[in-house]
Amino acid sequence: MDQEELLGAENQRLKEDLEALEGYINEFSEFLPLPICTVNPLNIVLGINQSFQNLTGYNAIEICGRDVTELFLEKQGIGSFVDEALRDSNRAVREMTLLAKNNVKIPVNVYGLSRKDDANNFIGYFLAISDISELKKSQEGLEERVSAKTKDLEESKRALVNILEDVDEARVRAEDERNKTLAVITNFTDGLLIFDKNGNLSLVNPQAETLMGIKSQDVVGSAFSRLKKIQAFGLLSEIIGKKSKGVARAEVKLKDALVLDVTRASIIREKENIGTLVVLHDITREKMIEKMKTEFVSLAAHQLRTPLSAIKWSLKMLLDEDLGKINEEQRGFMEKTYGSNERMISLINDLLNVTKIEEGRYLSNLALSDIDKIIRSVIDVYKDEVVKKGLSVEFNVPKAKLPPIKIDAEKIQLSFQNIFDNAVRYNRAKGKITVGLKRSKDEIEVSVQDTGMGVPKDQQKRVFSKFFRGENVMKKDTEGTGLGLFIAKNIIVSHGGRIWFESEEGKGSTFYFTLPLV
């Protein structure tokens, strides 16, 4: 083989190697999943691989020859990337936005590898593009979630701050209210004591200090059981120490010139008893005036009763013609005068009874008495009146004989008489009165039922008050003092009994009272 043939064979071998290399490069380029482009130092794209075409949508004809900056949103970014990073170092990476075909923007990481010749001259660079859309989406999703969470937290923070501000405002308001309440309590004209739910004294206002002769700092915080040793608290112990819920009242004489109206009330919040309020109202002056009035009435009544009795007996003598004959006209006048005098005496007697009741010296002769007899005697007194009005009276007594009870017979008789008198006086013509006696284990119950005009519903609460007279009664009968039931009630209550009634206007009333057997 001569020289020329050898050269030819060598050329053929080189050509085959070159073709094989080309094939290898093409296959490699086709297979390579990473989008790559070759760029010259003027930033002009010289070549791209298949992945680059797939990512951008551009083919080589459309891309090659174009300035690489046209492919990225960040024009300055790619310029500085090449100038600063690639020329100075071999490799660089930067996050940018690839402008694909049809203006599609793809977030990418751009990896650059500079190309240098044997003399280390910069002859261009490769750019490898990594699509980070999914990563970005996930980052954005994460950022959105973090942002949403941050927003939630900020809103929660704002809500908390608002709540704190509200709470602070509420605290200021509560403090204000507390100060107001304290001012009210301090300046309250009555004395106030407040015990907590454990029975410890928690507040004493200045009026209570004055009334009770105590100092707040000496007593606040102490249990009532300890406070009882102090005289003023000891006198209040009967009402303060009561276990009952609700309201209780009592008059308490702390000393000679000091009478208090003491009201004890449970402090309830949401159905729970959280303490006890005690109001001390000074009624010394009222009591004194009341006493003076009672004394005056008593004195006046006594002073009136003597001449009225004298008048009664004088008129009686005249009517009985002990002092000579009188004609019918004179008799008529005298009988009217006698009746009026009798009513006057009755009123005086009632007033005296009331004064005795109010002075607490009413019951004097407690002795075992037969209630049956007392009732019969009263019914008997009204026999003529009953006949006169055409009434029928029924008296129901138990079969077994009732035991005697310890009472002031005169007062019980008066009490029953006042009730029976109303039944006769305010009954309708030819009406009926039913008197009943009933025994239970501990007491005897007396009832008086009539068929009279009854008590109007709206006035029933005042029936046992002093000087009460029903409006319907006053229209029909101007007589009556309005003291009968007041006296009756006080007598019964003084005996430890109870008194009440049922009534319907126009149909009648039934009055009941009980007396304890022991």
Identity of the residue, 126 or 188, whose beta carbon is nearer to other proteins in the bound complex: 126
Determine the residue type at 399: K
Identity of the residue, 63 or 227, whose beta carbon is nearer to other proteins in the bound complex: 63
Closest CB 104 distance from other proteins, rounded Å: 20
What is the SS3 assignment for 380?
Answer: helix
Closest CB 26 distance from other proteins, rounded Å: 8
Per CB under 8 A, residues contacting other proteins are 15, 18-19, 22-23, 25-26, 38, 40-44, 46-47, 59-61, 63-65, 115, 117, 121-124
Identity of the residue, 26 or 89, whose beta carbon is nearer to other proteins in the bound complex: 26
Identity of the residue, 115 or 312, whose beta carbon is nearer to other proteins in the bound complex: 115
**Contact by Cβ (8 Å): 199, 224:** yes
| Residues whose CB is less than 8 angstroms from the CB of residue 359 and which lie 6 or more positions away in sequence, other chains included | 291, 294, 298
Identity of the residue, 23 or 506, whose beta carbon is nearer to other proteins in the bound complex: 23
Closest to 90 in 3D by CA, of 61, 67, 57, 122:
122
Q: How many other CB atoms sit within 10 Å of the CB of residue 5?
A: 9
Residue 54 CA to residue 446 CA, distance in Å, equals 115
Cα dihedral 159, 163, 166, 168 sign: negative
Closest CB 25 distance from other proteins, rounded Å: 7
Q: How far is CA 447 from CA 312, 373, 393, 394, 500, in A?
A: 34, 15, 13, 11, 10
Identity of the residue, 21 or 474, whose beta carbon is nearer to other proteins in the bound complex: 21
DSSP state of 110: E
Closest CB 44 distance from other proteins, rounded Å: 6
Closest CB 19 distance from other proteins, rounded Å: 5
For residue 356, the number of C-alpha atoms closer than 13 Å in the C-beta half-sphere is: 17
Question: Looking at the chain, how many residues does it have?
Answer: 518
Identity of the residue, 45 or 492, whose beta carbon is nearer to other proteins in the bound complex: 45
Residue 174 CA to residue 161 CA, distance in Å, equals 19
Closest CB 158 distance from other proteins, rounded Å: 57
Identity of the residue, 102 or 244, whose beta carbon is nearer to other proteins in the bound complex: 102
Closest CB 66 distance from other proteins, rounded Å: 9
Closest CB 145 distance from other proteins, rounded Å: 45
287: left (phi over 0), alpha (psi -120 to 50) or beta: alpha
